[in-house]
């Protein structure tokens, strides 16, 4: 569990023109859902379906939203408090808000150049950015853009005794990455029907159908012209030089797959010297097991409803996981976050911070490179307003707020 000392992260100093632009964006797009609506209008259909679709008929996404909406927070009045800061310590480092960007594989399909824009916005605002291993920039380059806030997410590359996986860990370590995240919740490949129907092919290729679709979006095309077709460049050193897009996709299919076993988690624990987080935990017994192996934090998540629709919502699983691990692990919640109020709900239910995936892609789809910074502002301002309304002077005080959480799993539900 994190040190709760309040360390203030200095706010960036804005010029009057930047301040005016910030206010104008707040007036036009005050919520994540406003960004989603604009992204739907501006993006090619396939890009929007990739960023927005879930497993099956989106049942998991709908339940994530409904479960968060159902959580009520009870305010306490009768004291004067200054506008509270949103600063948050995570794994010994001060961030400006309890909000982060979750790992997204192949975000360049949704918006070419996404990784660079995320990294810049996160560094400027001092919030965590989790670069996914399946990304269009290398961990070394991401660390140059976001030296203070970079986290790195790894899938399982287990061939030859994890040669590639371990090398990626070493590269992340050398690059100064703050936190390593191992994703364990994709043991099977599942179907995201909207993505399939949109015509996206793997490896990404501008087929005639996608070209015609892309022609409807100058916004997407101009980012493609600037950034090129997305490739998984962190994996280049492990492939023969000049490997084609098709061959590199075949390489990823051969080398990456399955979910980390507990023995493998132990190996990565031994190799990685910094904070280690396991992403995908929904059962308290898995949470306890992870902590017993020396894992420092858990992402409580159902992968944003993108794996199968029947998984518990992360907000409903969270209290039992908190009860199981107590203060022995930092808890990050994701899946369904669309506002700073959702972030506050997550913290009041036991998390230390909340991350978002889809809404950061919507922000790019709506506003291009300016989108992620704007969304961070929306979430941060909203967290601060929520703290003030509830009578909390700090993010830490959210842990003491009275909560009504009708969908929460109880320990006894887990049998
Ligand atoms: C397009 C897309 C790609 C994703 N790729 C990855 C990935 O490569 N690794 C991973 O651990 N999670 C991945 N996720 C899941 C996110 O990290 C996160 O758990 C999820 O998006 C949170 O839910 P939200 O989208 O409702 O905010 C992906 C999510 C999206 C939307």
Verify whether ligand 1 is closer than 6 Å to residue 192 (CB atom).
no
Rounded mean pLDDT, 218-224: 96
Catalytic residue flag (residue 162): no
Does 53 have pLDDT greater than 50?
yes
Per-residue pLDDT band for 81 (boundaries 50, 70, 90) equals confident
Instruction: Please indicate whether residue 9 or residue 223 has the higher confidence score (pLDDT).
Output: 223
Distance of alpha carbon 226 from the chain centroid: 25
Q: Could you give the CA distance from residue 185 to residue 338 in angstroms, rounded to a whole number?
A: 22
| CA 303 to ligand 1: nearest atom | 19
The number of the ligand 1 atom at minimal distance from the alpha carbon of 356 is 27
pLDDT digits (tens, 9 = 90+) for 304-320: 999 999 999 999 999 99
Using only C-alpha atoms, the chain has a radius of gyration, in whole angstroms, of: 20
Specify the CATH class of 29-403 in words: alpha beta
Hey, which of 51, 102, 232, 358 would you mutate to test ligand 1's pocket, going by the most ligand atoms within 8 Å of its Cβ? 102
pLDDT at 415: 81
Comparing 20-34, 143-157, 187-201, the range with the smallest average pLDDT is: 187-201
Query: Is residue 5 pLDDT above 60, yes or no?
Result: no
Atom of ligand 1 nearest to the CA of 134: 8
Note the residue count of the chain: 415
* Cβ proximity of 282 and 237 under 8 Å: no
Query: Quick one: DSSP state of residue 201?
Result: -
Task: Tell me the whole-structure pTM to 2 decimals.
Answer: 0.97
Instruction: Give the count of beta carbons closer than 10 Å to the beta carbon of residue 154.
Output: 25
Which pLDDT value is given to residue 74? Answer: 98
From 153-157, 230-234, 274-278, the region with the lowest mean pLDDT: 230-234
Beta strands, E only, 282-352: 297-300, 330-333
20 CA distance to ligand 1 centroid (A)?
32
Distance, C-alpha 327 to centroid of its chain = 22
295 Cβ below 6 A of ligand 1: no
For residues 364 and 344, the answer to whether their CB atoms sit within 8 Å is no
Q: Would you state the pLDDT for residue 33?
A: 98
pLDDT for 348-400, tens place per residue?
A: 999 999 999 999 999 999 999 999 999 999 999 999 999 999 999 999 999 99
Q: What's the pLDDT band for 6 if we cut at 50, 70, 90?
A: low
Among residues 244, 311, 255, which one has the least CA distance to residue 283? 311
Rounded CA-CA distance 2/380 in Å is 20
* pLDDT at 203 exceeding the cut of 90: no
Structure confidence at residue 1 (pLDDT) = 41
| Ligand 1 center from residue 104 Cα (angstroms) | 5
* DSSP per residue, 211-272: HHHHTT-HHHHHHHHHH-S---GGGGGGS-TT--HHHHHHHHHHHB-S---HHHHHHHHHH-
Question: Distance, CA 75 to ligand 1 centroid (Å)?
Answer: 32
The verdict on the CB of residue 337 being under 6 Å from ligand 1 is yes
Best residue among 62, 303, 309, 335 to mutate for probing ligand 1, ranked by most atoms within 8 Å of CB: 303
| Kind plus residue range of the DSSP H or E element containing 386 | helix 371-390
């Amino acid at each position: 569990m994190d040190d709760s000392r309040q360390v203030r992260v200095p706010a960036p100093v804005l010029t009057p023109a930047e301040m005016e632009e910030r206010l104008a964006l707040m007036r036009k797009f005050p919520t994540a859902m406003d960004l989603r609506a604009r992204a739907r209008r501006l993006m090619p259909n396939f890009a929007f379906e990739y960023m927005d679709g879930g497993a099956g008929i989106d049942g998991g996404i709908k339940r994530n939203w409904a479960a968060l909406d159902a959580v009520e927070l009870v305010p306490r009045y009768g004291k004067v408090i200054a506008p509270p800061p949103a600063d948050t310590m995570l794994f010994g480092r001060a961030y400006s808000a309890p909000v982060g960007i979750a790992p997204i594989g192949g975000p360049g399909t949704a918006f070419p150049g996404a990784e660079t824009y995320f990294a810049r916005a996160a560094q400027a605002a001092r919030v965590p950015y989790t670069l996914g291993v399946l990304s269009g920039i290398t961990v070394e380059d991401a660390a140059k853009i976001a030296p203070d806030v970079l986290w790195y997410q790894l899938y399982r590359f287990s061939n030859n005794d994890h040669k590639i996986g371990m090398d990626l860990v070493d590269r992340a370590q050398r690059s100064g990455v703050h936190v390593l995240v191992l994703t364990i919740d994709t043991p099977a490949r599942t179907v995201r029907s909207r993505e399939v129907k949109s015509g996206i092919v793997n490896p990404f290729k501008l087929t005639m159908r996608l070209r015609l679709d892309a022609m409807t979006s100058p916004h997407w095309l101009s980012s493609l012209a600037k950034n090129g077709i997305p490739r998984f460049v962190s994996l280049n050193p492990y492939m023969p030089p000049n490997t084609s897009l098709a061959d590199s996709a075949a390489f990823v299919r051969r080398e990456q797959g399955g979910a980390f076993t507990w023995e493998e988690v132990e190996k990565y624990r031994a190799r990685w010297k910094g904070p280690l987080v396991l992403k995908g935990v929904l059962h308290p017994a898995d949470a306890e097991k992870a902590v017993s192996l020396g894992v420092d934090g858990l992402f409580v998540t159902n992968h944003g409803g993108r794996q199968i629709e029947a998984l518990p919502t992360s907000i409903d699983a969270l209290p039992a996981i908190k009860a199981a691990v107590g203060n022995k692990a930092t808890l990050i919640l994701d899946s369904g976050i669309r506002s700073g109020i959702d972030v506050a709900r997550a913290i009041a239910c036991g998390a230390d911070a909340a991350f978002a995936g889809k809404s950061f892609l919507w922000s790019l789809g709506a506003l291009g490179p300016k989108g992620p910074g704007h969304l961070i502002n929306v979430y941060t301002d909203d967290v601060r307003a929520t703290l003030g309304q509830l009578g909390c002077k700090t993010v830490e005080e959210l842990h003491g707020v009275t909560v009504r959480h009708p969908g929460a799993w109880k320990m006894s539900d887990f049998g």
